[in-house]
Structure 1
Amino acid sequence: MKNIKNIFAVIGFLFVMASLVYAVQNSDAEAALVAASENVVDENTADVGYKISAIDIPEDLNFAGEAVPLDDPEVLERVDREFLVNTYWQSNAILLMKRAHKYFPIIEPILAKNGIPNDFKYLAVAESGLQNVVSPAGATGFWQIMRATAREYGLEVNENVDERYHIEKSTQVACDYLNKWKKRFGTWTLTAAAYNAGPGGIQKYMDIQKANDYYDLLLNPETSRYVFRIMAIKEIVSNPAKYGFDVAKEDFYQAVPTFTVEVDEPIGNWADFAQQYEISYKVLKRHNPWLREPHLNNASRKKYTIEIPNKGYYRESK
């Protein structure tokens, strides 16, 4: 009986030892596989020459000349988020750079004429990506203006014409709006936030929280990111190479030279009108997106200025 027990003890000892050897061998194998995979990643990264890196935030970051309190860790994290998101959404960033080259020369002089800081051109970028888009709430155009606001500030909005799509006129309305609320809120940063959340919304936050600084307010998620997003877009679009973008001047979208024609009567068919200038209806609409119907009633004989592209830039209409 004792011999049988000894035999079982030996067998048990051998089993334990075998298990330990197996475990060690497997552990070594797994370690070798991990090391090999790391080497593959390193080699692939080296071959591609591409690295995902953290972003260095400019120490002198500001919006419209108003300093950003980067010594506040919560503010720094919010800034960092927008720089990372907008830097590594590369396709969108390049499109914004291309469009900015085309449209900023139209927007900048209107801002300057109205005493609006140049940084606000990036507000239009944040609002619409410099496209004539319509939000779910109905905000329209580069500056995302609501119908009621447009009419309040003198834009024509009806079935035939919607001047929210008119870049010069909508930019002027944005300037009037911004100047009005700058007088109320005192800083350009709060004014930009009010453009997003509405002046009533910002005032409500200020009253409840007893704070009058954008960086001290607990806002809704969109508005809390809004000014930081504008600053990130400004920095990236202004300094593309610094953030890893290789964009040459010839890559940017170019404005097509145009001349204007005055119209003060009804137009039965804009396609017929376009053919007089050897362009298509599509090209006419491209340069005059505020024309919303294929015709113009114009019973009041109002004078409209129509933009026509110079010859040679588009295919002739057939």
Structure 2
Amino acid sequence: MRLIEKIGLMAALVFVSGLLIFATTDKTKKEPVKVESYFPATANFAGEVTPLGIADVKERLDRELIVNINLHAPTILAIKRANRAFPIIEPILKKNGVPDDFKYLAVIESGLVNAVSGAGARGVWQFMPETAKERGMEVNDEVDERYDLEKSTQAACSYFLKAKAKFGTWTLAAASYNGGMSGVNRQMDIQKVTDYYDLLLTEETSRYVFRILALKEIMRKPDKFGFTLLKEELYTSLPTKKIEVDSAITDLANFAKAQGINYKILKIHNPWLRDKKLDNPTSKKYTIEIPLSGY
């Protein structure tokens, strides 16, 4: 075969191969998700309407939806943990007259675990030590009630109610949990506006409520966003019994064994116990949870 014929044959093969590759790729190619397929027609926080007709407001919510839809591991874990944490958080919010949407604030603060920030904030609600003490929680080397979900949720409610009374809206109350009451109030005075969606704030506080709105949308309708989890995949709370103690416990490992569990399980169910002992010099009454089975 002459050289020119060989070149022609090779060119033909390359062209045909290209067509086959293109055809295969085209068949398997997924169409990009359109905004309308995931973006909500309306949105609100605690019943207060989010003005999606404002261009930057719509874009900011869109950003947080896209980010969290694609943060697969953290979002899946939040959905799993919510099944365990929300039944504790929800009735405390309701009892205090705080809207149910504030449970999603806990999600963006900590992912519903007892997180520790570089600044020293701890627990699901991320209280700093002094703020926790101001809200009635005990914080020392042996006991840190920021790790007690019931007590820290109650403390968070007291903050939200105070902030709502100050600002007049739940949206600003939520924003101030990140930006501080004085910080948000100062910017309102400088900018001469009274609505969160009209304020120019720091990057973190500017995104804060939108992150809550995004997680609310995703966690309320996980299937819509591709997070399909079976009921048995969700994390659950184990049944426990509560023991009240008003004296010192010199060795928590021995105490745990006497209750039929081990030290690890004791600490998992009572993360507010921060040492290997509980001195309790004031004879304060503490409630300790002991799992009944399945630990």
Normalised TM-score (structure 2):
0.91
Alpha-carbon distance, 1:242 to partner: 1.1
Q: 2:126 aligns with which of 133, 144, 150?
A: 144
Which residue number in structure 2 is paired with residue 310 of structure 1?
Answer: 292
The separation in 2 between residues aligned to 1:101 and 1:62, in whole angstroms, is: 23
Q: Select the residue among 22, 26, 43 that pairs with 1:42.
A: 26
Alignment of 1:62-211 (within 5 A): 62-211=44-193
Partner of 1:4: none
In structure 2, the residue matched to 1:240 is: 222
CA distance in 2, matches of 1:31, 1:126: 52
1:215-255: CA deviation from partner (whole Å, max 9, x where unpaired): 11111111111101101101111111111222111110011
Aligned position for 2:33: 53
Alignment check: 8 A CA contact 1:54 1:84 kept? no
Q: CA deviation at 1:54?
A: 3.6
- Report Cα offsets for 1:137-177 as digits up to 9, x if no partner: 11110000111111111100001100000000000000000
| Residues 226 and 267 of structure 1, relative CA distance in 2, 3 Å threshold | same
Identity %: 54
Larger Rg: 1
Tell me the distance in 2 between the aligned counterparts of 1:32 and 1:198. Answer: 65
Pairwise CA RMSD = 2.1
Q: Is the deviation greater in 147-156 or in 31-40? A: 31-40
User: How many residues are paired up?
Assistant: 285
Which residue number corresponds to residue 301 of structure 1?
Answer: 283
Judge which range, 156-165 or 33-42, deviates more.
33-42
Which portions of structure 1, spanning 4 or more consecutive aligned residues, are displaced by more than 2 angstroms? 28-45
CA distance in 2, matches of 1:37, 1:179: 62
- What are the superposed Cα offsets for residues 4-55 of structure 1, whole Å, 9 maximum, x if unpaired? xxxxxxxxxxxxxxxxxxxxxx9x999988766544433444xxxx665244
Amino acid at match of 1:89: L
Listed one character per residue, the Cα deviations across residues 199-221 of structure 1 (whole Å, up to 9, x for unaligned) are 11101111111111111111111
Inter-partner Cα distance in structure 2 for 1:182 and 1:31: 68
CA deviation profile, 1:70-128 (whole Å, cap 9, x unmatched): 11111111010011111111222111110000110000000000000000000000100
C-alpha distance in structure 1 between counterparts of 2:247 and 2:103, whole Å: 35
Residue 254, structure 1, aligned to residue 228, structure 2: no
How many angstroms apart in 2 are the aligned matches of 1:33 and 1:73?
Answer: 46
2:271 pairs, out of 289, 295, 300, with: 289
Cα distance, 1:145–1:38 mapped onto 2, change above 3 Å: farther
Normalising by structure 1, we get a TM-score of 0.85
Q: Which amino acid aligns with 1:53?
A: V
Per mean C-alpha deviation after superposition, the further-off stretch among 236-245 and 165-174 is: 236-245
CA distance in 1, matches of 2:178, 2:17: 52
User: Which runs of 5 or more residues in structure 1 are unaligned?
Assistant: 1-25
Q: Distance in 2 between matches of 1:184 and 1:75?
A: 24
Q: 1:30–1:196: structure 2 CA closer, same or farther, 3 Å change rule?
A: farther
Q: Secondary structure at the match of 2:120?
A: coil
